[in-house]
Amino acid sequence: MHANQAQLLTDKIEKIVPRSERMSLTRKIQRINQLKQERNAVILVHNYQMPKIFHTVSDIVGDSLALAREAEKVDADVIVMAGVHFMAETAKLLNPNKTVLIPDTEAGCSLAESITPQDVLTLRNKYPGVPVITYVNTSAAVKAVSDICCTSGNAKKVVEALGVPRVIMIPDEYLAQNIAQQTNVEILTWKGHCQVHELIAPEDVEQMRQDHPNAAILAHPECPPEVTAAADFSGSTAEMSDFMDQKRAQNVILLTECSMSDNLAINHPDINFIRLCNLCPHMQRITIDNILDALENNRYEVNVDPSIAEPARLSIKRMLEI
Ligand code: 13P
Ligand code: SF4
């Protein structure tokens, strides 16, 4: 990439990143793009990454479902996941022969932390024959003892595709409760929560309505059901993005990680985003510097124990087939 192309990319984020920082950012972006070419690498970027990553070095951007789908198709030797660890593991499971890198191994997830494979086996013993649907926000070891995965973008479809009256959906209690309201299938769940979305309360929605009566309020399904009920729309980060593409409102409040609003605001200067500030500390661990370091020094490589890789992959593949 030429210097002026990198400059164009950093201009995209000029309202957010000060000019002094953009100069060094441009140099780093140039180096990252050079390394991408040398190593035949791609960078997959989740919607919650900061604009200075999302709008500059990404090859593919999207929600968890899109990143899983793209990871399956990607034609590269190296995949850098600008997201959290379970996303990198998913990419590795779908690309066992490629090098998958996560720029910071501490980029975890409170949902993935909330459940162990043993917890799933205990649930299976308690409810024999009831299929286990695991949210992708789990470890490969948990996926390996589950029947199928889902994301917030396809959870209802997955629940209904199984054709059974009762399912176990782990580990996000709120996602399960939100989906239960949209289907006749009985959903048993777990007590895991996203540490970002669980902090949003129905009183906050009420207050926002009073303060911004003309704004459409969109809530992620990881929010408590009282919050999604009080919002105007609930959907995954990709569904929120589609809502903006369809220009369904001029003023919006997104009840989700706030980098999402920052990223969309750049693509939709005609929409007024009323920003909240709920940052995911795990997503925020990824920076331009550690992406550069990942490509330069091949770190940190993500591998999955071969004893769990096959059944974990099967859970993801079953989801992708739906
Ligand atoms: P989606 O991007 O699938 O909506 O998920 C949100 C999330 O919290 C990912 O960690
Ligand atoms: Fe996990 Fe929530 Fe952060 Fe997503 S936003 S990675 S669900 S803690």
Query: 14, 275 in Cβ contact below 8 A?
Result: no
Instruction: State the distance from the centre of ligand 1 to the C-alpha of 137, rounded, in angstroms.
Output: 8
In sequence order, the 6+-apart residues with CB closer than 8 A to the CB of 46 are 61, 62, 63, 64, 67, 82, 83, 84, 87, 237, 283
Residue 3 pLDDT greater than 60, yes or no: no
| Main-chain dihedrals φ then ψ at residue 126, nearest 5 degrees | -70, -35
What band does 23 get if pLDDT is binned at 50, 70 and 90? Answer: confident
Give the separation between CA 256 and CA 240, rounded to whole angstroms.
Answer: 10
Instruction: State the distance from the centre of ligand 2 to the C-alpha of 109, rounded, in angstroms.
Output: 5
Residue 123 pLDDT greater than 70, yes or no: yes
Bond preceding residue 51 cis, omega within 30 of 0: no
Of 280, 286, 235, the closest CA to residue 257 belongs to 280
Q: How many CA atoms lie within 13 A of 271 on its CB side?
A: 26
Q: Which pTM was predicted?
A: 0.95
pLDDT of the residue at 6: 64
Burial class (CB within 10 angstroms; exposed 0-12, middle 13-18, buried 19+) of 128 = exposed
Give the separation between CA 58 and CA 52, rounded to whole angstroms.
Answer: 10
Q: Output the CA torsion sign for 71, 77, 80, 86.
A: positive
Fill in the DSSP letter of residue 192.
B
Least trusted range by pLDDT, from 68-77, 294-303, 304-313:
68-77
In sequence order, the 6+-apart residues with CB closer than 8 A to the CB of 232 are 216, 217, 218
220-261, pLDDT tens digit by residue?
999 999 999 999 999 999 999 999 999 899 999 999 999 999
**Residue 111 Cα: closest atom of ligand 2:** 1
30-45, pLDDT tens digit by residue?
999 999 999 999 999 9
Give the separation between CA 239 and CA 172, rounded to whole angstroms.
Answer: 19
- Pick the ligand that lies closest to the CA of residue 64: 1
Structural domains in the chain, CATH included, are 3-107+283-297 (3.40.50.10800), 112-194 (3.40.50.10800), 197-275 (3.40.50.10800)
Pocket perturbation via mutation, ligand 1, pick of 46, 54, 114, 240 by most ligand atoms within 8 A of CB:
46
Residue 276 pLDDT greater than 90, yes or no: no
pLDDT of the residue at 5: 64
Residue 77 pLDDT greater than 90, yes or no: yes
Q: What is the mean pLDDT of residues 149-165?
A: 97
- Pick the ligand that lies closest to the CA of residue 280: 2
| Main-chain dihedrals φ then ψ at residue 303, nearest 5 degrees | -130, 155
Q: What is the mean pLDDT of residues 59-67?
A: 93
